A and B are shown apart, each in its own frame.
Chain A
Amino acid sequence: MDPRGKIIATFLFIFVIFLANNWQSYLIVTFFTLLSIYFTKLKVKMFWDGVKPLLGLILFTSLLQLFFAPSGKIYWQWWIFSISTMGTVNAIYIFLRFSLIILISTVMTLTTMPLEIAAAFEWIMSPLKIFKVPVAEISLIMSIALRFVPTLFDQTVKIMNAQRARGADFSSGNLIQRIKAIVPLLVPLFINSLEVAIDLATAMESRGYRSSEGRTRYRTLAWSKYDLYNLGFFMTLTILLMVFRRY
């Protein structure tokens, strides 16, 4: 499937989920999300890994909603805590909304290569050219950043080990000492990337790079029939939500 279609769908999903405001509409959104998870044919564990780091935040937010925003009939009260009908329902809705948005985002990132996502972002940004935003430059920056995250990550680990070998300590001492220990890590990292930048720029210029304008593309994106299915799927969801929501 075309990454542009997927990103736009993910993006719109967040707006569409606002339409849900009663249990029927939440049921529909949940069903559609589970369906799209099923269609990815990926293991459930991978999605669980996507939700896991945020589970604490999700639970925390829902619990806050549960205890501190009373409305409707009150079941139980103690000091400033109270559990009410509407509070409980809202907490469940927030929990669902959170999990569904994260799940759909996970579907997108798990099924799309980072390079494709970057290309799609470039396409989505292209209308900004009207406002003289240097979209071509930005997409060059984006692809360089994407390409160099793994390389610089290796560098960082290497620099850390090199400093450790000479007695640097990143994980003990008081707070100020630890903070000071970051600088000998950062400076080589920046100097290193500065040198990489100069070298890369020289190499690009010697291979005939003049500016980001007036160039052809080697990697192109193409719409396929699956994007139509995706769109149809999405339209159905939107219409169903419009029908079932409480106005």
Chain B
Amino acid sequence: MKKYFFKLNLSQLVFLGLVIAIKIILGRFSVGPELVKVGLGFIGSVALGYFFGPIWGAVGGGVSDLVSSALFGNQGGFFIGFTLTAMLGPMIYGFFFYEQPRKIWRIVVATVTVTFLVNILLNTIWLHLLYKVNFQVAFNARILKNLIVPWLQMIIIYFVLDGLSRVKTRMNKLEKSRM
């Protein structure tokens, strides 16, 4: 647990700010056919967890939710629950990907955990609390979409982690030269 609590130096702090900005921008894009559109925001979450670990990743996720609601308005009303779920995603990715080798099982387990815990369970609970929607009904409606999307996400994460590892090597090199 100890290795996740560390102080960021200024350039890391600024980079965290920029990764959050990237996450917000990616959140506005999506890929895939019309029926199962996959938003790209989760790539930002993966990057946050991968670069900064679960704790700072969670901070980044929370800030990204606040900043995007400040810039674009909050979809579905302003509610602290959605900020919490935005924090949880990068946190889980951080536990699985931060300073860990890229393994297929890590990608699968992380994606499934995030999908179930965050997208299906928690977000349904928030909707239930916010709008008094029948829990069972909203839950079933959500499961349908979340049966397909995670598989696409896993493939994307597999390729993206490869790209991110190249960025990370560059990051360590630049950090060293700056010291």
User: Which residues of A approach B to under 8 Å, CB–CB?
Assistant: 7, 10-11, 14, 50, 53-54, 57, 60-61, 64-65, 68-69, 90, 93-94, 97-98, 101-102, 104-106, 108-110, 114, 117-118, 121, 137-138, 140-146, 148-149, 151-153, 156, 175-176, 178-180, 182-183, 186-187, 189-191, 193-198, 200-202, 204-205, 209
Contacts and interface: CB of A to CB of B under 8 A. Distances in A.
Contacts of B10: 201, 204-205, 209
A178 B9 CA distance: 36
B43 A186 contact: yes
B113 interface: no
Interface string B138-179: 100100000000001001100110111011001100100010
Interface stretch (B76-84, B89-97, B104-112): B76-84
User: DSSP majority for the A interface?
Assistant: helix
Contacts of B71: 114, 146, 149
Kindly state the interface size class of chain B when it binds its partner: 35 or more
A123 B16 CA distance: 21
B138 A178 contact: no
Interface of B: 8-22, 24-25, 31-33, 40, 43, 47, 59-60, 63-64, 66-67, 69-80, 127, 130-134, 137-138, 141, 152, 155-156, 159-160, 162-164, 166-167, 170-171, 174, 178
Instruction: Give the one of B13, B21, B73, B130 with max A CB within 10 A.
Output: B21
Given A117-B70, A190-B167, A202-B178, A152 B18 contact: yes
User: DSSP majority for the B interface?
Assistant: helix
Given A94-B131, A149-B25, A204-B10, 11 more contacts: A14-B79, A61-B131, A68-B134, A105-B77, A137-B13, A138-B63, A145-B24, A175-B155, A183-B163, A186-B163, A191-B167
Given A60-B141, A114-B70, A145-B24, A179 B132 contact: no
Given A53-B75, A101-B130, A114-B71, A141 B163 contact: no
